[in-house]
Amino acid sequence: MRRSRVVAGAVVAVACVLAWSPAWAQTEEAERKAVEAAKAWLALVDAGKNGESWDTAAAFFRSGVTREKWDARLVRARMPLGTVKSRTLAMKKYMTELPDAPKGEYVVIVFKTVFDNMPKAIETITPMLQRDGTWRVSGYNIKPPEA
């Protein structure tokens, strides 16, 4: 009797893992692709290609700010910081809802970044899955770490 309960418990545990694995694998793949998209987009920003960063951002992002205003904001925000010395992935999280954003698929990504003039910075970048299956940046923020 005890053996059959152990076997039944093991079968249920395996079934739960198998049922959970595809969703986990999809989330992992989404996070991987979103991080790749974020790094490519940040490379544009790091190179001072502000207009191109706007061009390649998500439609939701572009609808919130004109190309010219985006360029001006980046110049004001990034120029005083100097160049990027290092950027380390600190966190990534797949989400389907964010405040003040349409429902969709997002990955919130946090990098610990060292700039010439700001040795400790937190960059938060949020790629969003587009209808064509690509991940494009829908949000970007830089701030010093919480004290």
Burial class of residue 38, CB neighbours in 10 A (0-12, 13-18, 19+): buried
Could you give the CA distance from residue 108 to residue 8 in angstroms, rounded to a whole number? 39
Say yes or no to pLDDT of 18 above 80. no
Which of the pair, 71 or 1, is modelled with greater confidence? Answer: 71
Give the position of tokens 């954003």.
101
**CATH number of the domain that residue 57 is part of:** 3.10.450.100
Q: Per the structure, how many domains does the chain have?
A: 1
Residue 24 pLDDT level (bands cut at 50, 70, 90): low
Which of the pair, 24 or 18, is modelled with greater confidence? Answer: 24
Per the structure block, which two tokens stand in for 35? 């991080």
Whether residue 125 is contained in a domain is answered as: yes
Say yes or no to pLDDT of 11 above 80. no
Whether residue 7 is contained in a domain is answered as: no
Interval 54-59 mean pLDDT: 97
Please give the pLDDT value at position 146: 79
Whether residue 17 is contained in a domain is answered as: no
Please give the pLDDT value at position 80: 94
Per the structure block, which two tokens stand in for 99? 């405040």
Say yes or no to pLDDT of 10 above 90. no
Whether residue 10 is contained in a domain is answered as: no
Per the structure block, which two tokens stand in for 41? 């987009």
Say yes or no to pLDDT of 3 above 90. no
The rounded mean pLDDT for the chain is 86
Whether residue 9 is contained in a domain is answered as: no
Instruction: Label the pairing between strands 106-115 and 84-95.
Output: antiparallel
**Model pLDDT for residues 87-133, shown as the tens digit of each residue:** 999 999 999 999 988 999 999 999 999 999 999 999 999 999 999 99
Whether residue 97 is contained in a domain is answered as: yes
Could you tell me which residues come within 8 angstroms of residue 140 by beta carbon, excluding any fewer than 6 positions away? 45, 123, 124, 125, 126
Whether residue 18 is contained in a domain is answered as: no
Domain range holding 77? 23-143
Whether residue 68 is contained in a domain is answered as: yes
